[in-house]
Structure 1
Amino acid sequence: MQQREMVVTGEAPAVHGYSMPAEWEPHSQTWMGWPERPDNWRDNALHAQLVFTKVAIAISKFEPVTVCASSAQWENARSQLPEHVRVLEMSMNDSWFRDIGPTFVVRKNGSNHGNLEQRIAGIDWNFNGWGGVDDGCYQDWSLDLLVARKIIGTEKLPRFPHFMILEGGSIHVDGDGTCLTTEECLLNKNRNPNLTKEQIEDQLKAYLGVQKVIWLPYGLYGDDDTNGHIDNMCCFVRPGVVLLSWTEDEKDPQFKRSMEALSILSNTSDANGRRLEIIKLHVPGPLYMTDEEAAGVVQDGNAKPRLPGTRLAASYVNFYIANGGIITPQFGDQKWDDEAVRVLSQAFPNHEVVRIEGAREIVLAGGNIHCITQQQPAALSTSNC
């Protein structure tokens, strides 16, 4: 007998005692997609697939990995990925699982809210291709809309659908009541024009189980595809400590953005009243798309153009925290690549920092390692967290 999916409507996750855990809390697995769009990934995604494989292998040394590939690409993905990486067939418009996958929430031991027995659940946000028909990255996102639901169903978890348009890369939590986001993205008129800042904040609190939202005005300079996602700009290292994308070059447009963020972060506290410690993580470059790279993309009008000379939204903040590992992009800028590894090693002394060479291939299409991954938390008791 086929089991019906468990859909929870009319009640937010927090009502049932769920909250979004920090990314450094234990995972049961990582979810990824498989790139193939020729109008976004150059040379039919040949180079990107090699880097996605590197990322999947790196993460799989720390925790299980599931990669989802379309029917046309399943055999190709299966042949490139090692056997211990699970490969599932799934339709999608593109492979940004941070944004189109579910946001998982957990309920720890001792929480007796609501009537759901499962310790893990998934939020199925609404999605409009990062801005809709006029301002998004491509025209059709109908397959992406189903990815979160399919993943939650595969894991047989309760699903909390939400009307609000939100991508996973636009939020970051400390697991202790605080959420980071940007006004540039969440308040953009191409997402939820009928919601006020206060209404959006109320939804974040109800669905993520947080008590305070810290709003930065902007994301990373050049991150136009996502309208300034937080995961390129700033993230928590642990409660009370954040990493901030930084540059000392006052002529770089990123400088003003970093300074404004520094001012806000320096003059606020988290949900528990902690003053924030800020660790600066220098951006690479600046880096720009070459003529050769742009020529490899099919510019047929179905996706946002990839033009030569475009500044790439490259950031070392866009790393992934695995169970005991930090999977970090490397852009071929040796000075800042090495500096990023040093800073991340100090910020996460109990994690092994793993370099992913060639991560430029991901940023060419508008994101990086954090953008292509989605962690599924493990169900642990309060005493084990």
Structure 2
Amino acid sequence: MATKTHRLLPEWHPQDGLQLTWPRPDGDWAPLLSRIEATLERIVIATVRYQRVLISVPDDSTRDRLAATFAAYGINKHQLLLIVAPTDDTWARDHGPITVVDEKNQPLLLDYTFTGWGGKFPAERDNQLTQWLADAGVWACPVASRELILEGGGIETDGAGTLLTTEACLLNPNRNPAHSRDDIETILAKDFGVDRVLWLANGHLEGDDTDSHIDTLARFCDPSTIAYVTCDNPNDSHYAALKAMEQELKAFRQRDGEPYRLIPLPWPQACFDPDDGHRLPATYANFLIINQAVLVPTYGDPADMVALQALAQAFPEHTLIPIECVSVIRQHGSLHCLTMQLPKGTLTPTLIES
């Protein structure tokens, strides 16, 4: 096997900041603009206690308004970096850069091709955002473009050479039809330094546009722990697939042959779109790990507290912060989908000095 030159960082690696992309007034969020902005504000307020926040904004007026809003909340202006940039939507997890480190532990941002989850939605501006931010002087490390179509929500890593993903996403013909499973694994090994890929063949959420992103289903909490969604209602349309996914997770083994410590997350009551009644993808697996804290999506459901208690077992040294995401799932994502962590060494120091 070739010498590993890159290592994909796990989400719990120390971070410089968090990346968000603010919605355009004329975008898909227009009917819910005040609601999604309120949710994003809560994410910012929670995060700046621990690290800085980079926000791509659609225009000067939005930048000035947000600067005034967060100043009124008492947030130090040095904790925020507001950059005007052209964008399509808000899903920073999937159009943001993926960070690896080289053999000298220096970070590199990998800029994968983003096509709006296989061409479902416009994504040309989002696909160019990482390079736009590079041209604006935001990044402290190099950016390397990649032709592979890949979204950050589609992969999970333990930071030690193991990748967790789903067949429905990475092997979907709407992403990289010319590549076989072996091809994909070869590329992942080269780019991320992984030598094990754990493929889930089962698991999905109705209303999900991503073709079963792993961050909606199962997540590494540390190298030996995976939190995953469960469904205990045999009458629910998700029951069979999620039970099958659970069996797959139980069959996975760590490098030493031991099973993973599995933490089941509860199933919230079914959420439906108030306009046309279609089911929405509510999931507690879409939590976000930042420095010393974990932001957890909640849905005004009795299962919210159960999910927080379960994740407290996985993150005993972190502060758990609930973020209400009822409006976020209206556009078929949740908290993690809105965000991309920026590991240490990725933000230009002159932009992050207090």
What's the TM-score once normalised by structure 1's chain length? Answer: 0.83
Match of 2:351 in 1: none
Match of 1:368 in 2: 334
CA contact (8 A) 1:22 1:173 kept: yes
Match of 1:130 in 2: 117
- The answer on 1:258 being equivalent to 2:248 is no
SS of equivalent to 1:130: helix
CA contact (8 A) 2:296 2:320 kept: yes
Q: 1:343 to 1:39 in 2, by over 3 A?
A: same
CA contact (8 A) 1:124 1:161 kept: yes
CA contact (8 A) 2:232 2:267 kept: no
Query: For residues 1-385 of structure 1, what are the structure 2 equivalents within 5 Å?
Result: 17-36=5-24, 38=26, 40-43=28-31, 45-71=33-59, 73-81=62-70, 82=75, 83=77, 84-107=79-102, 111=103, 119-132=106-119, 136=120, 138=121, 140-153=122-135, 154-271=138-255, 273-291=257-275, 308-333=276-301, 335-357=302-324, 359-379=325-345
Q: 1:124 to 1:104 in 2, by over 3 A?
A: same
Distance 1:366 1:244 in 2: 19
Distance 2:224 2:36 in 1: 35
Of residues 219-228 and 243-252 in structure 1, the stretch that sits farther from structure 2 once superposed is: 219-228
Distance 2:214 2:204 in 1: 8
How many residues are treated as equivalent by the alignment? 336
Deviations 1:49-77 (A, max 9, x none): 11001011111111111111011632333
Distance 1:320 1:122 in 2: 19
Counterpart code for 1:356: I
SS of equivalent to 1:253: coil
CA contact (8 A) 2:231 2:243 kept: no
The Cα of 1:44 is off from its aligned counterpart by: 5.2
Match of 2:350 in 1: none
The Cα of 1:165 is off from its aligned counterpart by: 0.5
CA contact (8 A) 2:9 2:159 kept: yes
The Cα of 1:15 is off from its aligned counterpart by: 6.4
Unaligned runs of 5+ in 2: 347-354
The Cα of 1:164 is off from its aligned counterpart by: 0.9
Distance 1:361 1:348 in 2: 26
The RMSD of aligned alpha carbons is 2.0
Greater fraction of residues in strand: 2
Distance 1:363 1:278 in 2: 25
Unaligned runs of 5+ in 1: 1-13, 113-117, 292-307, 381-385
SS of equivalent to 2:336: coil
Distance 1:17 1:203 in 2: 13
Distance 1:32 1:74 in 2: 13
Distance 1:269 1:31 in 2: 33
CA contact (8 A) 2:17 2:52 kept: yes
Of residues 151-160 and 46-55 in structure 1, the stretch that sits farther from structure 2 once superposed is: 151-160
Of residues 49-58 and 66-75 in structure 1, the stretch that sits farther from structure 2 once superposed is: 66-75
Distance 1:78 1:16 in 2: 43
SS of equivalent to 1:56: helix
Match of 2:352 in 1: none
Distance 1:90 1:274 in 2: 47
Match of 1:7 in 2: none
What's the TM-score once normalised by structure 2's chain length? Answer: 0.90
Deviations 1:305-359 (A, max 9, x none): xxx21111010110110101011111011x20111111111210000000112x1
SS of equivalent to 1:131: helix
Question: How much identity, in percent, do the aligned residues show?
Answer: 30
The Cα of 1:218 is off from its aligned counterpart by: 3.6
SS of equivalent to 1:337: helix
Distance 2:256 2:59 in 1: 47
SS of equivalent to 1:61: coil
The Cα of 1:265 is off from its aligned counterpart by: 1.4
Counterpart code for 1:75: D
The Cα of 1:272 is off from its aligned counterpart by: 5.1
Distance 2:64 2:164 in 1: 39
CA contact (8 A) 1:245 1:315 kept: yes
